Structure formats: C-alpha cells, structure tokens
Amino acid sequence: MLKQTLLVLALSALSAAVLAADFNPFIDIPFKRIKTSAERIESHGYPAETHEVVTEDGYVLNMFRIPYSPKLANGNAQRPAVLIQHGLFSCSDCFLLNGPDNALAYNYADAGYDVWLGNARGNIYSRNNTRLSTSHPYFWAFSWHEIGAYDLPAMIDHILATTGERAVHYVGHSQGCTTFFVMGAFRPEYNAKIKTAHMLAPPIFMGNTTTPMVVSLADYVGSPGLGAELLQNQVFLPMNPLIQRILDTACSNDPYFLSYCKTLAMLWADGVGNLNVTLLPQVAETHPAGISTNQGIHFIQSYVSNEFRRYDWGPTKNKATYGTQVPPSYDITKITSQVHLYVGLADESANVKDVARLPALLPNMKELYEIPDETWGHLDFIFARQVKQVINDRVIASSKAYDQLHAN
C-alpha cells in the first residue's frame, strides 16, 4: 500500500514539475496524438457532437453527444436522452474505451437513445473558467459538492434545452453517483428532471471502504488540520503529454512496466479484477484525467466521519460557511428520483455494507442489485470483459421499461 501511494505521489510531483518548468527531458520520444471523445466516437462510425456548457459559477464544461446510432433508421427522430457521468480521476472517454460492442455509450445509442457524456470541472475536457486561470488556486477550490450542485444541473438543463425533452435518464459511476446524490439532495428541484437514475458503485457512505489511498491518507487529511490545509485547492495528478506518454508506453510494451500500469488501476480503484487488460493502453492515454485535491480529501473525510456531508473546513470556517461548526449532512430523503443501485461484492470503494444503508433513506428506490460475482470490483462496472451482459443490458432494459410505461 505504501509503495502504491508513493508511486502516485511521485507521478503527481513529476507531472507538476514538468508543467512548471515547461521542460521535456524525453524530447526525442514521439508523442502519440490523443484522440478526443468525439474522435473516438467517430472512429467507430457514430455521429459525434461537442457541446460547451457554462455553469453559474463560470466553469466551462465540455460534453460529448452521440445523437443516434448509425445502425438505426431515421437519425433525426426524437429520442429519449441519457446523461452518463464519469467517476474520480476519469472523463467521458471511460464510457467509450470498451468499443462499440461493449461500451455503455454505444449500447445506449444502439438501443435508440440520444447519448450525452458529461465531464466534471477540472478534468482534461473541462479545464476552463470564464474568470479564473487554471494556475490560480481559486480555480481548484472545489470538491465533488460543486460538481453536484452546479455541473450536473447545468449539463441537464443544456440537454433539455437542446433536445426538447422534459427529463433525462442518468447513469453515474463512482463519483458520478456521489455528485448525483448531492444534486438530488441539495438541488431537489432537479429530481423532476430525472426519469431513472442508475448508480454504478455509489460511494455515498464510506465507513467500510478499504481502498488503499483512502485508508493510508486518512490520518493525514481525513480531518481538518495542517495536512488538509497544505494539500487543498490544488490540481492533483495534472495531465500532461510527458506523463501520459510514459504511462501509455508502460501499459503497452514491457511486461515489467505493465505491472506498474496495473498498480495504477489498483490506486484508482481496487485492483484489476475482471478488467479487460487490453484496454489499459487506451485508458492510460487520458487517465488519470485530473481532479482537485479537495475531491480526494472530501472522499477521505467521508471515510473518517462515516457520514454523507458537506466539505469539512474546520469549526471556524464551517461556522462562517454553513452556520454550524460541523458540516451539515445531505438529506438523502429529498432524492425522489427513481433510483437503481448496483454494487459489487469485491468493491473496496463502494462497500456493500455502506451501500446497504441507502435503501431506507431513498423514498423512490427501485432496486438494489448485487452483482452475482464475488470478484466484481469498482472498475468492473465500466471496464470488465463482460460488462455488457452484467451491467449495460440491465441498465438499458430498466430505462426502456420506464419509457414504455410512460409513453405518451
């Protein structure tokens, strides 16, 4: 665990140093051009669109759209819309890399849906602000609260305005679930804009989490203090071509270095598990996609407190910000959307015991589905070899059942 933590911290430090010095010691290494999500979509023959969305606090988010599948007739027909949101360290690419046969975005498009892929503030596709430069610490002064409070509502409103739909289906993985819970509780008016909400590996309560990075850093940044103050409001694992080229090479060639690539998967979540390892070179092209340190700290705080609540700044700033010395908890009972929970028995981040606390609090929970595979882990929900059969088909079937029930 210490070895893994030191590796990711070293990569973060190297990446930051390269960015700061604008120096490339591997100048002779040919850099691979990284495809955008739109280019990945188009490479498989699907139409793709890029949309910019500006949040009420000035963050410029990039969304990618697959308006229809080339396998279906009448591409201009009105289609139900679905928003798919990535997890921590990730971006819209993660729902495309499994290819047109097995990736959730393509599966939804082939099922007749208008597919929208979101990108949270701070990742490689959403690193802009109308007022702030990324070099300014205020740019990074956000956690997953702001993603749920501002990013998701802005993206949903844009989808509805563009398509004319009244509501969308929503699928979130990991942090994409956390931010949905924030939105549903903090902005409860948005529940009416959701048809079905599918939570893949939801880290809401985290008291039983065993993820190495969370557990190993809990004593240092899990509570307000010097450790958190030194780390907060910064970019963590900033993405730059040098680091991505190193990771891409490590994941593609030498078997010795491939073990370190797999270690990155362990750091990101809870190990290789059912992971389709042939995807690792593509994953390494854009992952880790970058986050604010506050996002990681906020998750570690959730582990320490065993509560689902706002960011803990310490008693003095909490009092000034929230009116109480202890950060307020999110009222999950305000989430009236139809919620589907999916949990893996080997998931170290969204532990089955923690997820089991949610049904009693959700007034409109449709199902809690435990994957009938004792080895199913956190990343398997998007990168497993059998993800289409185990996850995607079930999620899409639930969406279609809702649409058929509420047709006209």
The string of pLDDT tens digits covering residues 150-161 is 999 999 999 999
**Looking at residues 92-115, what average pLDDT do you find?**
96
Residue 20's pLDDT is what?
47
DSSP string, 161-220: HHH--S-EEEEEETHHHHHHHHHHHHSGGGGGGEEEEEEES--SS-TT---HHHHHHHHH
User: Which pLDDT band, with edges at 50, 70 and 90, does 401 fall under?
Assistant: very high
In the numeric block, the tokens 């049904």 are attached to 359
**Looking at residues 111-128, what average pLDDT do you find?**
96
The residues annotated with a catalytic role in the active site are 174, 378
Residue 10's pLDDT is what?
47
Residue 255's pLDDT is what?
53
Residue 348's pLDDT is what?
92
Residue 3's pLDDT is what?
38
* pLDDT over threshold 80, residue 289: no
Span 124-143, pLDDT tens digits: 999 999 999 999 989 999 99
Q: What is the DSSP letter of 150?
A: I
Which residues face 81 on adjacent strands? 114
| CA-to-CA separations, 33 to 38, 245, 255, 312, 346, in angstroms, rounded | 14, 10, 23, 40, 35
| Residues contacting 33, CB < 8 A, separation 6+ | none
3-class DSSP assignment, residue 302: helix
Residue 19's pLDDT is what?
45
Query: Global pTM?
Result: 0.88
User: Which pLDDT band, with edges at 50, 70 and 90, does 275 fall under?
Assistant: confident
Q: What are phi and psi of 54, to 5 degrees?
A: -105, 125
